[in-house]
């Protein structure tokens, strides 16, 4: 890392924000292309049925309508959901025979304006022959369950069975068991989904697609494959993206339909999702039922964890069906557990398909571990903090491979928990809790503890980055990741400015465009800073080294004597002879001025590979008040101590922590997608799906410890999902802790006033 006085490690305001706040930043829905048409989808209003007729005739004379298409009009092939799943589950872009969830596409209308397209879609008549429906993943695995894909023979999408040891818990003195529901969530990004497709050839490309995606290259390739195009002939641009949370990482069939229609009509087309459509069509997350056993000795030492997970994959199983694999991988958590056995099965149901959602499989592991540990602490009458500290993996044990095969890099778990305990004033909180219980106060205090470890850059350790100094002295940096609100422009500019000694404003960041970025794995799994940031770090080092060689040649000096001072390179101790970056870049463009064997230009492009994932961790303590007359829960304090390795910009780190805590607390207290038994969504808009505002949450106390990873030159790990993982079980534990004196051992999320009140009344009864 750079020496003291570095810009790195200091709070630097985000460069992106002024444009966003002033309305200057452009999103996909801001695009207005000449001759652009608009799409509206006709979506199934029934969860499971045979389609007997799709009548689009009424649209033909409607104002502005250019076309209306059923499946037979487009002739599109099914789209692959996830490579590890049987092709039986591939989804027809436009359903022709059977619909499998409310929101399945049965027709598409194209018109001159968005309003005309919506009017046309409402005029399409679809007739259905209803089929039996199943919305519960456990029920979907039953012998009498209706089968969504009869050719497959069952609703089992994928099963991970790592073997079953009948003696797994034999060493335990005590076995604590629980059934936990990690409920289905909607991603609810501020910007819903959509796409703009321009079929007019330009700049050597046959097709240009603008989409709010987290991974432009990862989206370009499957779109091209479905269009039977050479990927290099398709340009994918991600304009500014208004949040993603994992749900904007993959291919949506709406993109393929839009591309097919744009090519068919020879005109640009746009689809812009409404919020209610987003709640149906964008993938949901979490959706696990977990059966967990924890074996312990009488002193609280863990002996084994046994788990069985049932995952809801939705109507067309995709990556969501795979995520229990990550849950299993993180099933050991921060603890020394000699034996861990977690098996899973993912089921197809008549609901919106599930996919990645902030944390993607890892929060679910922390959730079941931290709940079952709290239940064990209650069973053995050991303080929740103490039982965790007795079982922590210790710093000297790293690096280590866990029982489930995760390669932990470095960790100091007790340090994070001790800091959270100190900031919270834990002993004083427990004293206040005892006093309230003795007084019989209506508002009872609950203190929830959670300690977590997660994996970032898992399976995606490599990323592209390039740095080039221009002849005017500015610097262009190109990265293969793609920002959707994280502050990449600021963070990457800081790295380049630090290494090259230039102002941040002189650094231009290029990202999110496959025509300008040769390759990239996109943004997901909290990987960007550690991979793309390290790529820019190494590329900047390469540029600096080349510049030193050139400066030594031009100044007739030894390269070892060249130093970078105040943005100029010259001989140490001779500042008058130093050369600016503009002078060096100009010289580098003239072959006659280069030393023998040096290529023209001050540019380095490379792929940085850190070789493995990193494992951030942290400790959260939540403090709640529960009104025992009404069941209302108020989160009054939340202490987050998250460790993401070296912190490059505490302002951005803190922002990610605050957003993560809010999202995690929201799962614990407010959010949950609900379907009725017929598959009708009961939470299809923001009147019914409870996303909290700032008014429902306190100011968070977010801080960090730092244990740099040895895997990259920045020492950085991911922070984007960390606080989401730590906060949810802390808040859930806090609510149950507030009620534990009533004999309440567990409540599933979300902990709404009604659910809490009913539990209190049952306990009193």
Contacts of residue 480, Cβ cutoff 8 Å, sequence gap at least 6 = 217, 463, 464, 465, 511, 517, 519, 520, 521, 522, 532, 535
596 contacts: CB under 8 Å, gap ≥ 6: none
- Distance, in Å, from the CA atom of 491 to the CA atom of 428, rounded to the nearest integer, reads 39
Domains present along the chain, CATH in parentheses: 17-24+458-609 (3.30.365.10), 31-131+190-243+248-281 (3.90.1170.50), 284-456+613-764 (3.30.365.10)
Question: Quick one: which of 584, 587, 12, 82 has its CA closest to 353?
Answer: 82
132 sits in which H/E element: none
- Cα–Cα distance for residue pair 382/371, rounded to 1 Å: 14
CA distance 221 to 340: 38
Residue 3: per-residue pLDDT: 42
Distance CA 290, CA 383 (A): 24
Give the residue ranges of DSSP H helices in 202-269.
216-226, 253-265
Classify residue 110 by burial, with Cβ atoms within 10 Å: 0-12, 13-18, 19+: buried
Neighbouring CB atoms inside 10 A of 696's CB total 15
Contact 79, 22 (CB under 8 A): no
Q: Is there a contact between 354 and 315 (Cβ–Cβ < 8 Å)?
A: no
Looking at the DSSP bridge assignments, the partners of residue 402 are none
Q: Which two tokens stand for residue 230?
A: 């050479």
Give the residue among 202, 306, 187 at the shortest CA–CA distance from 246. Answer: 187
Alpha-carbon dihedral of residues 656, 659, 665, 669, nearest 10 degrees? -160
pLDDT at 305: 98
Asked whether the bond before 750 is cis by omega within 30 degrees of 0, the reply is: yes
C-alpha Rg value of the chain to the nearest Å: 28
Which residue reads 């695009």 in tokens? 31
How far apart are alpha carbons 261 and 88 in whole angstroms? 25
CA-to-CA dists, residue 576 to 98, 469, 526, 562, 587, angstroms:
78, 22, 45, 13, 18
Distance of alpha carbon 369 from the chain centroid:
21
pLDDT of residue 630: 98
Contact 349, 711 (CB under 8 A): no
Distance CA 177, CA 152 (A): 34
DSSP 324: H
Under 8 Å between Cβ of 107 and 118: no
Residue with tokens 């091209």, as numbered in its chain: 224
pLDDT tens digits along 509-527: 999 999 999 999 999 999 9
- DSSP one-letter code for 78: P
Contact partners, residue 144, CB within 8 Å, separation at least 6: none
User: So what's the pLDDT on residue 1?
Assistant: 42
Phi, psi of 415 (to 5 degrees): -60, -45
User: Residue 166's pLDDT is what?
Assistant: 96
For residues 569 and 547, the answer to whether their CB atoms sit within 8 Å is yes
Residue 39: φ, ψ to 5°: -105, 145
Low-confidence ranges of the chain (pLDDT < 50): 1-3
State which H helix or E strand residue 374 sits in.
Answer: helix 362-380
Q: How far apart are CA 178 and CA 746, in angstroms?
A: 8
pLDDT digits (tens, 9 = 90+) for 635-654: 999 999 999 999 999 999 99
| Pick from 713, 707, 700: nearest CA to 666 | 700
Relative to beta strand 568-571, strand 105-111 is unpaired
Assess contact for 719 and 653: CB atoms under 8 A: yes
pLDDT mean across residues, the chain: 97
Q: Which spans in 228-380 are helix H?
A: 253-265, 275-281, 319-322, 324-329, 362-380
Q: Note the pLDDT of residue 506.
A: 98
């Amino acid at each position: 890392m750079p020496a003291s006085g570095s810009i790195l490690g200091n709070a630097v305001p985000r460069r992106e924000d002024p444009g966003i706040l002033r309305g200057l930043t452009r999103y996909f829905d801001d695009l207005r292309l000449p001759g652009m048409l608009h799409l509206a989808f006709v979506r199934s209003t029934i969860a499971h049925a045979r389609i007997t007729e799709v009548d689009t005739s009424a649209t033909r004379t409607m104002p502005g309508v250019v076309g209306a298409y059923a499946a037979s009009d487009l002739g599109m092939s099914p789209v692959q959901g996830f490579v590890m799943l049987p092709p039986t589950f591939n989804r027809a872009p436009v359903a022709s025979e059977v619909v499998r969830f409310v929101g399945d596409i049965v027709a598409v209308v194209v018109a001159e304006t968005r309003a005309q397209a919506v009017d046309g879609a409402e005029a399409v008549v679809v007739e259905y022959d209803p089929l039996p429906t199943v919305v519960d993943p456990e029920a979907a695995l039953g012998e009498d369950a209706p089968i969504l894909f009869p050719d497959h023979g069952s609703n089992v999408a994928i099963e991970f069975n790592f073997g079953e040891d009948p003696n797994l818990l034999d060493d335990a003195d005590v076995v604590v068991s629980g059934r936990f529901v990690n409920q289905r969530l909607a991603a609810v990004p501020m910007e819903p989904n959509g796409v703009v497709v321009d079929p007019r050839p330009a700049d050597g490309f046959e097709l240009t697609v603008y989409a709010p995606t987290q991974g432009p290259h990862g989206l370009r390739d499957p779109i091209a494959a479905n269009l039977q195009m050479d990927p290099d002939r398709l340009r994918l641009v991600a304009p500014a993206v208004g949040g993603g949370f994992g749900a904007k990482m993959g291919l949506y069939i709406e993109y393929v339909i839009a591309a097919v229609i744009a090519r068919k009509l020879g005109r640009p087309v746009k689809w812009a999702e409404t919020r209610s459509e987003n709640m149906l069509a964008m993938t949901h997350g979490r959706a696990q039922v977990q059966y967990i056993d924890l074996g312990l000795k009488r002193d609280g030492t863990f002996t084994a964890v046994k788990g069985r997970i049932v995952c809801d994959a939705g109507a067309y199983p995709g990556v969501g069906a795979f995520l229990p694999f990550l849950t299993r991988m993180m099933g050991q958590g921060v603890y020394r557990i000699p034996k861990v056995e977690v098996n899973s099965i993912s089921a197809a149901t008549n609901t919106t398909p599930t996919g990645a959602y902030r944390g993607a499989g890892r929060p679910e592991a922390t959730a079941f571990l931290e709940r079952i540990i709290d239940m064990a602490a209650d069973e053995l009458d050991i303080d929740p903090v103490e039982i965790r500290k007795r079982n922590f993996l210790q710093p000297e044990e790293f690096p280590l491979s866990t029982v489930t095969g995760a390669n932990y890099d470095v960790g100091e778990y007790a340090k994070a928990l001790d800091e959270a305990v100190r900031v919270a004033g834990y002993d004083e909180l427990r004293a206040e809790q005892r006093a309230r219980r003795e007084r019989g106060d209506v508002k009872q205090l609950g203190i929830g503890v959670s300690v977590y470890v997660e994996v970032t850059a898992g399976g995606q350790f490599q990323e592209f980055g390039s740095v080039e100094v221009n002849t005017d002295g500015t610097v262009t940096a190109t990265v293969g990741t793609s920002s959707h609100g994280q502050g990449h422009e600021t963070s990457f500019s800081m790295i380049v400015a630090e290494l090259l000694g230039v102002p941040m404003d002189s650094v231009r960041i290029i990202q999110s465009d496959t025509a300008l970025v040769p390759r990239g794995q996109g943004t997901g799994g909290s990987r960007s800073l550690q991979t793309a940031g390290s790529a820019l770090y190494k590329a900047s080092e390469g540029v600096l080294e080349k510049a030193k060689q050139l400066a030594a040649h031009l100044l007739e000096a030894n390269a070892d004597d060249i130093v970078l001072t105040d943005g100029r390179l010259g001989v140490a101790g001779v500042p008058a002879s130093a050369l600016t970056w503009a002078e060096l870049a100009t010289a580098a463009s003239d072959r006659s001025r280069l030393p023998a064997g040096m290529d023209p230009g001050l540019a380095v492009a490379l792929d940085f590979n850190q070789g493995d994932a990193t494992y951030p961790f942290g400790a959260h303590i939540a403090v709640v008040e529960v009104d025992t007359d009404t069941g209302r829960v108020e989160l009054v304090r939340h202490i987050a101590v998250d460790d993401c390795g070296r912190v490059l910009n505490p302002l951005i780190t803190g922002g990610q922590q605050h957003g993560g805590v809010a999202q995690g607390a929201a799962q614990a207290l407010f959010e949950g997608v609900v379907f009725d038994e017929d598959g009708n969504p009961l939470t299809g808009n923001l009147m019914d799906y409870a996303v909290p505002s700032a008014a429902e949450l306190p100011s968070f106390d977010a801080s960090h410890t730092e244990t740099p990873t040895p895997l990259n030159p920045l020492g950085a790990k991911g922070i984007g999902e960390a606080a989401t993982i730590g906060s949810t079980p802390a808040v859930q534990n806090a609510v149950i802790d507030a009620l534990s004196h009533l004999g309440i051992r567990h409540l599933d999320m979300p902990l709404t006033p009604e659910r809490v009140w009913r539990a209190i009344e049952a306990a009193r009864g």
